[in-house]
Structure 1
Amino acid sequence: MTADQLWIASLALAALGLLVLAGRLLLRLHRAERTEQRVVQLLRQRETAAAVIQPFPMPGLQPLGTATPQTDQDAAQQVLERLKPPAWLETGLAKALFAQEDRKLMEQAGIEIGRGGLIFVASRTALCLLLPVLVLLVLQPQGMKAMFYAFAAFSLGLMLPKWILRSKATNRRKQVVEELPLFVDLLRLLQGVGLSIDQSLHILATEFGSVLRVLSAELGLANRLYSSGRTREQSLQRLAMLGADDDMSAVVNLLVQVDRHGGAVQEPLREFSLRLREKRQANFKEKIGTITVKMTGVMVLTLLPALIVITAGPGFTAVIRSLSSIGGR
């Protein structure tokens, strides 16, 4: 490959990197624009619904789409039944294979305890029994090596479901951290138009599922728990455990205090939103610094040889030609 070809390849790679970066920026702008349009549309619908006045209300009739109190109680009772762990999980074997830490990870991963616990215990049991047998049949070790391989396969079968569950919980907590600034801004916006805490949380849970994929589902669950008779603090306890840091817990504590004692929440939410943005900027700067250090090694391994060939190649070629001509004489 000549120097011109290397130079063209370097320019092509740089252009490809710029295109990828521009695509990511355009995708973020598109998502922000969609979110803004959604907020404006919901606020207009809210104003239109508030302006409509029912002239002759009929006793005993309800608007379309409005659930009865009995329906709300039944739905909340079903939620409580799903959250309650089944009785078989309290047995000795189930406690050994499905510890309290695993249950907490399953809650953070957004998996129901009943169905998810059954799959978790069954997968752990099957892997612990099948992996050692499979390893011994395939490798056919002898003596102490067979015992070592069997123990390693047993340990892998025991820990593999937990590693997968922890990875899913970690990814979901990172998603919560990404959604938290938008959640705070939307909550402050809904509070600014005169909605209560209950109305704001209900709208966030029902209307913003496309942008708040994790928080909207958890808010819907918290609203159903609150309608079943639990306090606001108890219903939001699961949500407070989702965040990878203390920011989600701080938002939950703020909502609980406002629900308990009342007061304006717009100014605290505005200050909290500013603090979240400053924290995200600091995290981005830290990531950029880490990427810069990592890219130094990549550039040394990839670009430095090409630069040496391009810059010093003609000189080396001239020296070799001169030496060959001297040797030829």
Structure 2
Amino acid sequence: MVSAYVLSIISLLLLALAVGLAGGSMVLRAARQQRSRQSIDKRLNRRATPGASRSDDEPEEGPATRLGRARARALQLGKQLSKGRVGELLLTDEERQLLTQSGFNRENDRSIFALSRAGLALGLPIVIMFVLSLDGLGEYVMAAFFGLAFGLMLPKWYLRRRAARRRVQAADELPLLIDLMRLLQGVGLSIDQSLHIIVQEFKHVLPILSGELALAAGQYARGRTREQSLTRVATLYNNDDLAALVGMIVQVDRHGGAVQEPLQRFGERLREQRKLDLKMRVGKLTVKMTGVMVVTLLPALIVVTGGAGFLALFRGLSKMGL
């Protein structure tokens, strides 16, 4: 009779073989599509330049070219994984929102995320099974389950941390953005000119908000209204102050008027709110440090202050024979 251990090994090997065949077929399909696309491009280039020699059309393939082709095939596979029912599982609406909040706005970024999630979900269980010395079908099932779960969740956890960090950074950049808008409006520049200068000259100081304003300026240049182009900036980072600033910019662009005084009052209110938040954080930190001091310093303080009394008590008891 074949033992359950051997049957579990055979079933896992068959499962790995099936997954490998499915992934290999998808890679081959992507490679064929890439080759056909490259051949069509070469033929079009030859027709465009009939005097070019065949040797010029087919340069020697180097490591950089092979690396680029491998990257293109991986991106093509990621695009296929991000579509259909598999794409709905690997790339939900929440994860698309996290990708946008993390600054990954291109289609290639979504393809890389879907490919990394699928690769980790399939690869981590195999790695765990080979690294750990497992015994029994139950351990293999648990290793496959936890490997699959961690493989699916690790990219999402990374996106959540990155999105949270960018939200905090956007909130920190907001007071400087308000001051720059107030100064640029004060010297007579329009909304378009002010946003253009902020995007071009202050992108190193405002890396998060300048990138979002650049996308908004591009959408406005392609025909969208000011409100439509700034909707993403107002709603992406879940920041009420940033949404209020966007609303103020939209109102000024629509109706006109002076904006220096409202921006100044808005900046002062924002600074006062940040001072209150810092005081609250300092108060919480003080309470936490009090607990740390009690845990670490109280035993030493008891030893220093009451050590002599305890020693005298022990000596008296020892003399009494107790």
**TM-score (norm. length: structure 1):** 0.67
Judge conservation of contact 2:82–2:90 (CA < 8 Å) in 1. Answer: no
Q: Residue type matched to 1:154 in 2? A: L
1:195–1:94 distance in 2 versus 1, CA, 3 Å: same
Aligned residues: 242
- Which residue in the other structure is 2:165 paired with? 171
User: 2:213 and 2:80 mapped to 1: Cα distance?
Assistant: 27
Report the secondary structure of 1:131's partner residue: helix
Of 179, 187, 191 in structure 2, the residue corresponding to residue 185 of structure 1 is 179
1:117 deviates by 0.8
User: 1:153 and 1:122 mapped to 2: Cα distance?
Assistant: 16
Of 222, 240, 244 in structure 2, the residue corresponding to residue 246 of structure 1 is 240
- Which residue in the other structure is 1:115 paired with? 108
Q: Residue type matched to 2:99 in 1? A: M
- Which residue in the other structure is 1:298 paired with? 292
Judge conservation of contact 1:140–1:146 (CA < 8 Å) in 2. Answer: yes
Report the secondary structure of 1:236's partner residue: helix
* Unaligned ranges ≥5, structure 2: 1-78
1:88 deviates by 7.3
Does residue 283 of the first structure (1) align with residue 277 of the second (2)?
yes
User: 2:226 and 2:80 mapped to 1: Cα distance?
Assistant: 27
- Which residue in the other structure is 2:120 paired with? 127
Of 230, 233, 255 in structure 1, the residue corresponding to residue 227 of structure 2 is 233
- Which residue in the other structure is 2:195 paired with? 201
1:123 deviates by 0.7
1:209 deviates by 2.2
Judge conservation of contact 2:99–2:159 (CA < 8 Å) in 1. Answer: yes
Q: Residue type matched to 2:281 in 1? A: K
- Which residue in the other structure is 1:261 paired with? 255
Does residue 106 of the first structure (1) align with residue 113 of the second (2)?
no
User: 2:252 and 2:123 mapped to 1: Cα distance?
Assistant: 54
Identical aligned pairs, as a percentage? Answer: 52
User: 1:267 and 1:90 mapped to 2: Cα distance?
Assistant: 50
1:255 deviates by 0.9
- Which residue in the other structure is 1:211 paired with? 205
1:286 deviates by 2.0
1:253 deviates by 1.4
1:195–1:247 distance in 2 versus 1, CA, 3 Å: same
Report the secondary structure of 2:233's partner residue: helix
Q: Residue type matched to 2:157 in 1? A: W
Report the secondary structure of 1:195's partner residue: coil
Q: Residue type matched to 2:265 in 1? A: E
With a CA cutoff of 8 Å and minimum separation of 6, indicate the structure with the bigger relative contact order: 1
Judge conservation of contact 2:82–2:114 (CA < 8 Å) in 1. Answer: no
1:113 deviates by 2.8
**Bigger CA radius of gyration:** 2
Of 302, 309, 329 in structure 1, the residue corresponding to residue 303 of structure 2 is 309
Report the secondary structure of 1:241's partner residue: helix
Judge conservation of contact 1:88–1:94 (CA < 8 Å) in 2. Answer: yes
1:224 deviates by 2.2
Of 86, 93, 97 in structure 1, the residue corresponding to residue 86 of structure 2 is 93
Q: Residue type matched to 2:305 in 1? A: T
* Unaligned ranges ≥5, structure 1: 1-85
1:280 deviates by 1.2
**TM-score (norm. length: structure 2):** 0.69
Judge conservation of contact 1:109–1:165 (CA < 8 Å) in 2. Answer: yes
1:306 deviates by 2.2
Q: Residue type matched to 1:280 in 2? A: R
Judge conservation of contact 1:209–1:217 (CA < 8 Å) in 2. Answer: yes
Report the secondary structure of 2:136's partner residue: coil
1:90 deviates by 4.1
Q: Residue type matched to 1:146 in 2? A: Y
1:196–1:287 distance in 2 versus 1, CA, 3 Å: same
Q: Residue type matched to 1:93 in 2? A: V
Q: Which stretch of the first structure deviates more once superposed, 182-191 or 240-249?
A: 240-249
1:294 deviates by 1.6
RMSD: 2.3
